[in-house]
Amino acid sequence: MKKTLLLLSLVAAPAFAGEGKWTPQQVLELSPAWLKAQGLQLPPSKLWDPKRGTGLLAGTVNTGGCSGSFISASGLIITNHHCAFSIIQEHSSPQKDLITNGFLAKSQAEELPGKGSRVQVPRGFKDVTAEVNGAVPQGADDLARYKAIDRKQKELVAECEKRPATRCQVATFDGGVNYTLVDAVELQDVRLVYAPPRAVGEYGGEEDNWMWPRHTGDFAIIRAYTAPDGASAAFSDKNVPYKAEFFFPLSTEGVKPGDFVMVLGYPGTTFRTLLADEMAERQARYYPRIRDVLGEAIRILEAEGEKDPAGKIAVASQLKGLHNVYKNAGGQLAGLKRGHIVEKQRDAEAGTVAWAQKDAAKWGDALKAREALLAEQQESSKTFDREFLLNMSGRLARGPALATSVSRLAMERAKPDLERRPEYMDRELPRIKDRLEREQKNLFLAADKALLHAFVKRAQALPQDARIAAVDAAFGKTYSEKDVSAKIDSLYAGTKVLTLAERLKMADESVGQLAARRDPLLAFGMELAKEQAALDDTRDRRQGASSRLRPAWRKAVMAQAGKPIAPDANSTLRVSFAKVQGYTPRDGALYLPQTTLTGMMQKHTGEEPFNAPEKVRAAAAAKKFGQWADPRLKDVPVDFLADADTTGGNSGSPTVNGKGQLVGVNFDRVWENVANDFGYNPDVARNVNVDVRYLLWQLDQVEDADALLRELNIRKGKPVAKEAR
């Protein structure tokens, strides 16, 4: 991090113990005495050694949108059931339904490869702020500024990725206060080892999602493989399990209230550094639109899925994701209101403004930067609705989304690699192709057509000065149910975009070749792609402005705070220090921090989402707890709460005790804490973890997974947990 940050962080401990998603570098800058007092028994240097570019934190992997961690030297990784869901779905069919029944590989030969699944193991972080800022030419306007920064980042990544199996990224912290080159080893052969039945992995389903008390066994185990010489390699029978230098041994002792834990992982995006007006727009417009548009998509997918069992499987993964975002948006709205978060940010901002005005010679630029950011915000909010809908075109109906993807790919490939949008550079091609292939499993025509219909209807209702031209051209300017249905039927009837082999060919074709196909859905996708490309240019300029303005303002905020501040989440590796504890969700109620198997059985109704599998019920009824009962609870512990500072992307994060042993796996936050993305509130900041003893109980007493338990160094009746290494 920059020097200013470093100096600040040396002077004090954080405001609230649990607050802060600390970078590995910041962990080393926090007071070791404070960390020890929290409960960290390892020296902080064991967590991360910046010289070697490794440490216990290197046991935490990025699984692409989720987190995971090594739990054995033989490449076993634990993550969430919902993070491994796409591999589970990939191998499921109505005849062999792994989603419903779960899966346990009895030997390595039975493990199931995940198409396009990858994990990244961190190897180093380098501050490149000076290089990135130095690349901006004098007098550059905002678009030129964006392009210069973008190009420099790509050059740094290209240099970093010259080593084999390396995946790099330049991460932007707090809008450009700091740029860090993140270096990771990418493993490409990842296989499913164990997934519980959905009725365990997702017990409580949407009803319990983002809620407490919880009884979900949201865990799955995968394994990374390499070539026999240890090099990262694509799937092959010859591959061998990855040798993990750092891993988290499973703790058989578990946790109790008050215990120290840390949650390590890759939190995605948070918004705590936004200005109050920027937050207010998310509250007033963004989340309500998400509720509206995604709510409709969910109703469509559920209704269509009910009519067709194969269709139901095809849309399962998409539906699950939509539900998660939909309910999250509700939680954000409720939490923003309840916690008066925007108002608090407004007050804090006014405080910083008043403070900065006292030394205008030093902070005048920061004050001007804030004003300019507010003006930018007002300008961009004028086109909010159109932009929102255009974004959604890639997320809902798969047909047009695939047509747009191949079109966009062709448009971008016509440019030199370094001038393309990052997501279409050559280094992304294998991923794009994997995605194009994997999507075949998600296709369900009836649902897809209905989703497109709903999208077109919304687009046709946009005001005259904010239209989506591609929709107007293909469907006309005014909505008619009959005409839209007929047009959609003809788009789908005449297209090859939904045929896997043809789609993969399209991925290699030029814009001219795609046009020559005269494929109607593809033609519609191409027009949408052009509008998306124009929108990206607008965003690039805004991004350039933000990188010019936001750092100046943030530096004033940090200087005024005079205490360490962890940057907003940006999908890079972070650590949160926490304690196991319950909370008060509302007046007069107190939530205990642990749930039990008996509590799970009390919720059982025999109907989804509370339909515990027969084997689990039988073991619970017979009190077959094995060695996994908690001595205090006298029951098998299922889930627990802590006050860790987490967000989406922390799913699958290892929850580790002070000795570096795995005591749980993070998978959610409580309802009252969803809006912590905008501000930390110690009263309700609780993350939800599955207790490792529940996993062990399932493996031992329900699944008889003796080989896996042996590999995890667990001997029945004789717990063994070594120090972390």
572 binds ligand ASP (CB under 6 A): no
Catalytic residue among 174, 183, 189, 218: 218
Helix (H, G, I), strand (E, B) or coil at 416: coil
Q: Which amino acid is at 597?
A: L
Q: ∠ CA(128), CA(132), CA(135), 5° rounding?
A: 145
Q: Which of 62, 646, 689, 698 binds ligand ASP (CB under 6 A)?
A: 646
Residue with smaller CB distance to ligand ASP, 120 or 646? 646
Size of the site for ligand ASP (CB under 6 A): 10
**Six-digit token string for 352:** 């910083």
Residue with smaller CB distance to ligand ASP, 322 or 556? 322
Whole-number minimum distance, CB 82 to ligand ASP, in Å?
6
User: Which stretch, 15-23, 238-246, 419-427, 642-650, contacts ligand ASP (CB under 6 A)?
Assistant: 642-650
Is 82 an active-site residue? yes
Whole-number minimum distance, CB 666 to ligand ASP, in Å?
7
Is 218 an active-site residue? yes
Residue with smaller CB distance to ligand ASP, 366 or 578? 578
Is 639 an active-site residue? no
Q: Which of 81, 669, 686, 693 binds ligand ASP (CB under 6 A)?
A: 669
N-to-C CA span, the chain: 27
Residue whose pair of structure tokens reads 């509130």 in the numeric block: 681
89 binds ligand ASP (CB under 6 A): no
270 binds ligand ASP (CB under 6 A): no
Identify any residues that bridge with 689 across adjacent strands, giving them in sequence order: 640, 666
* Rounded Cα distance, 687 and 255, in Å: 15
| DSSP class per residue in 83-113 | TSHHHHHHT--SSS-HHHH-EE-SSGGG-EE
User: Which stretch, 330-338, 388-396, 523-531, 664-672, contacts ligand ASP (CB under 6 A)?
Assistant: 664-672
Q: Decide if 203 contacts 612 (C-beta within 8 A).
A: yes
Residue with smaller CB distance to ligand ASP, 405 or 647? 647
**Six-digit token string for 161:** 């990725």
Q: Decide if 670 contacts 585 (C-beta within 8 A).
A: yes
Catalytic residue among 81, 82, 91, 453: 82
Residue with smaller CB distance to ligand ASP, 595 or 701? 595
Q: Which of 241, 311, 585, 648 binds ligand ASP (CB under 6 A)?
A: 648
CA atoms within 13 A on the CB side of 296: 17
Residue with smaller CB distance to ligand ASP, 267 or 305? 267
9 binds ligand ASP (CB under 6 A): no
Whole-number minimum distance, CB 324 to ligand ASP, in Å?
5
Indicate the Cα dihedral angle 21, 24, 28, 34, nearest 10°.
30
Question: Whose CA is closest to 119, among 61, 163, 160, 168?
Answer: 61
* Rounded Cα distance, 725 and 717, in Å: 24
Q: Which residues contact 4 (CB under 8 A, 6 or more apart)?
A: 555, 558, 559
239 binds ligand ASP (CB under 6 A): no
Site for ligand ASP in 298-357 (CB under 6 A): 324
Helix (H, G, I), strand (E, B) or coil at 263: strand
Catalytic residue among 651, 653, 668, 700: 651
Q: Which of 129, 647, 681, 701 binds ligand ASP (CB under 6 A)?
A: 647
Helix (H) or strand (E) holding 132: helix 129-134
Summarize as ranges the residues that interact with ligand ASP (CB under 6 A).
324, 646-651, 667-669
Catalytic annotation, residues: 82, 218, 651
